[in-house]
Amino acid sequence: MTKEYLELRSLLIRLPDFQREFQNYTGHECKILELVNKEHEAASRAYLESSLPSTASKLNMASDNRHIFLTPFEDNNHTYLPLLSVDLDFTLAWPMISIHLLHYGLDKGHSKAEKLKCFGYRYDKPAARVGDHDYFHVQFTHGTEKGRHNNRINRWISTKDPSIPIDATDSVQLFLSAVIAVRNGFKTRRDLFDEWRQAGIAINSMLMPMAFQRWRPASANNT
Amino acid sequence: MKILICDDTEQPLTGLAQDLAAMGHSDVEVATGDKVAKLADGLEQRRKAAASGNESAPAWGESAFDKADLVFIDYNFVQLEHSNGLTGQRLAYLARCYSAAKYIVVLNQFGENRFDLTLRDHPETYADLHLGLQQVMNEGLWSDREWPSFRPWTWPVLPEIVTKMERAAIEVEAALDTPILKHLMLDGVAGAIPRNVKQFLGDESVTFREFALKSGFDVSDKPFSQKSIALIAASRVAKWLEYLILSAQDILIDVPRVLSRYPSVLGEGGLDVLENEPLSSTKVNALNLPAAIDDHRYQKSDWIRRPAWWRSGVLGEERLSENQDALAPETDLRFTEDASRFLKSAYVSGFVADLNSPFVQRFVLSERDPEIDYQPQLRFSL
């Protein structure tokens, strides 16, 4: 468990280093940043280092309203700004982790707050070892804090279904799944792994057990 | 190599002259007290003459600075009787803009024996290099052999860098009106250079001449000799390239980053064969890196202190086995920026460099010499 916590900590605290700095945002990215930053605070490496001691502990980024502002990207005539936050409690016998993502989007022709939209989803480790929800999964959310609805997110979206199984058997793999899923078009997955590797993290051994990494077509003849 | 040492008092830099002579550098001139004040005054006269156009000043080539390949300037001139507010930094400015001095080292501006954990140095200053007095005789500054256990990776080998700077200035003389990024082959990756790194140059199309005239001189100052423009541009742009581009390791990468990514190029032993081996140029040249790496070498080698390669080119190189198999074997070795060698992770401490780059997590020795001041301490990882 300590190893899992330390690996997760080392991945998480370095993640802000790999994102585009605010001062290097381009025109429309600055506009969406201005709007999103009114509602959420950015979590820096310093915040994460001080919030996550090297002994197993708790972290509640979502309830602190602190998020890692991932590198923005463009798609579908929108500028998107994804935010990632992690709630964890490794002081429990069955350590808990939830990874929240909010994808803010702003139509490229607009800059007003009314046009800011969002969708949210959360990666969960199963809360119990048995039951119908006893698998690592991701599902839609209405926000990052329990009981508080993010007004930018459509209410009709079910937060129960789908509950999609995730390629993870521990919190490190769950975290990697969440980060790898956000493809911003500026960096390849190899770039991301290279950044962690150069930071001295044994990323290969963390990725090795994951199916997405091991999967390869057997051969052209078998297809 | 002609060396000029400037200090307010006879000691301790005169001792340095003796040490240099023992090392084989006998062409050393020491200017202290009134002599240094007089030399500085000569450069001031050039500055004033250039600004007003009607004052007399020593002709270009007549100052001791003009003849110096390597200049050491002590930052602190408190004991100078007629200093007129002269500091080492001011003298470095005058020497860079109003003399033909090739390479300028300012001593003790940031401490007598300091390791800079930001890894970005001070690109805005006119010194080509900042050192502490206690560091000047470090063998690793003077030779490619016998690097001691403390030998910062960003340091140049001084006799080599003087020659490189001379060649870079000659290049600039022939390309004064060429955009800097184009000349340095960086125009194709201009979009990947962060805004706050590009701003040092001004804009993407700025030429060497424009850059030297706009940001080389203090506001009302003008060039005394057109010959100074190439020297100013070469010095300041080389520093920008070294500390803001190469240090970041996201556009250009140096040999530790190449080897830690692609240990297969080292043969069967992989990176382990380099454990605790200082990565001097001789060592690196002896590695005989394969064409798969060397085809991506950055060609403007006179502008940087150590060899570099295009990161995107190397990462996209299909001939490298690590690029075909994403999960290459992992190493426990970390590159130490203060010792210029790979060491096992148990012997290193992490720190966060102050660079515009994702690659800010770096390492230094965990057992550090208490005489060396690692600053800012806040940069050590928690």
A218 pLDDT tier (thresholds 50, 70, 90): low
Cα–Cα distance measured from residue B132 to residue B110, given in angstroms and rounded to the nearest whole number: 7
Distance CA B99, CA B105 (A): 14
What amino acid is encoded at A166 in this protein? I
Taking the Cβ of residue B376 and every Cβ of chain A, the question of whether any pair is shorter than 8 Å is answered with: no
Residue A194 corresponds to which tokens in the numbers above? 């290279």
Which residues of chain B does A204 touch, with a Cβ-Cβ cutoff of 8 Å? Answer: 327-330
Whole-number mean pLDDT of chain A?
91
Amino acid at A132: D
CA-based nearest residue in chain B for residue A196: B359
Residue B221 dihedral angles phi and psi, to the nearest 5°: -80, 155
The sign of the dihedral angle between the CA atoms of A203, A204, A208, A212 is positive
pLDDT in tens, A6-53: 999 999 999 999 999 999 998 899 999 999 999 999 999 999 999 999
Question: What is the model's pLDDT at position B33?
Answer: 85
pLDDT tens-place string over residues B56-77: 899 999 999 999 999 999 988 7
Complex confidence, ipTM: 0.82
Confidence of residue B215 (pLDDT cuts 50, 70, 90): confident
Q: Which residue has the tokens 């100013």?
A: B232
Half-sphere exposure of B50 (CA within 13 A, CB side): 25
| Residue B364 burial (CB count, 10 A) | 24
Which residues in chain B have their CB less than 8 angstroms from residue A197's CB? 260-261, 330
Contacting residues for B296 by C-beta, under 8 A, at least 6 apart: B309, B310, B313, B314, B317
Q: How far apart are CA B60 and CA B273, in angstroms?
A: 51
At residue A222, does pLDDT exceed 60? no
What are the structure tokens assigned to B40, written together?
A: 């500085």
Residues 179-198 of A with CB under 8 A from B: 190-191, 193-195, 197-198
C-alpha distances in Å from residue B169, one per residue of A171, B59, B173: 55, 20, 6
Give B370's contacts (C-beta < 8 A, 6+ positions apart): none
Q: Quick one: pLDDT band at residue B15, thresholds 50, 70, 90?
A: confident
What string of DSSP letters covers A48-98? HHHHS-SSS-EEETTTTTEEEEPPPEEETTEEEEEEEEEEEETTSSS-EEE
Report how far residue B170's alpha carbon sits from residue B229's, in angstroms, rounded to the nearest whole number.
11
Distance from CA of B332 to the nearest CA of A (A): 8
What is the structure's pLDDT at B81? 59
Phi, psi (rounded to 5 degrees) for B105 = -115, 120
Residue A186 has pLDDT above 50, yes or no: yes
Mean pLDDT for the stretch of residues A66-77:
95
Q: Examine the pLDDT at B84 and tell me if it is beyond 90.
A: no
The tens digit of pLDDT for each residue in B120-162 reads: 999 999 999 999 999 999 999 999 988 999 999 999 999 999 9
A90 in contact with B at a CB cutoff of 8 Å?
Answer: no
Tokens, residue A47? 């915040």
Radius of gyration of chain B (CA): 21
What percentage of chain A has pLDDT greater than the value 90? 73
Distance from CA of B139 to the nearest CA of A (A): 29
Q: Could you identify the residue written with the tokens 């020593």?
A: B58
Tokens coding B255: 């040999």
Contacts of B260 in chain A (CB under 8 A): 197-198
- Asked if residues B287 and B355 have their Cβ atoms less than 8 Å apart, the reply is no
Question: pLDDT digit string (tens) for B280-330?
Answer: 988 998 998 999 999 999 999 999 999 999 999 999 999 998 888 666 668
What mean pLDDT do residues A162-170 have? 95
Residue where the block lists tokens 């240094």:
B36
pLDDT of amino acid A221: 46
Count chain A–chain B contacts defined by CB atoms under 8 A: 56
A49-to-A9, A39, A52, A99, A197 alpha-carbon distances in Å: 8, 23, 5, 18, 19
Interface test with B, best of A198, A201, A214 (most B CBs within 10 A): A198
A45 contacts B330? CB cut-off 8 A: no
Min Cα distance B337 → chain A (Å) is 13
Per-residue pLDDT reduced to its tens digit, A102-147? 999 999 988 888 999 999 999 999 987 777 878 999 999 999 877 7
Judged by a CB distance cut-off of 8 A, whether residue B352 touches chain A is yes
Which of B327, B360, B382 lies at the smallest CB-CB distance from A17?
B360
Backbone angles phi, psi at B146, to 5 degrees: 55, 50
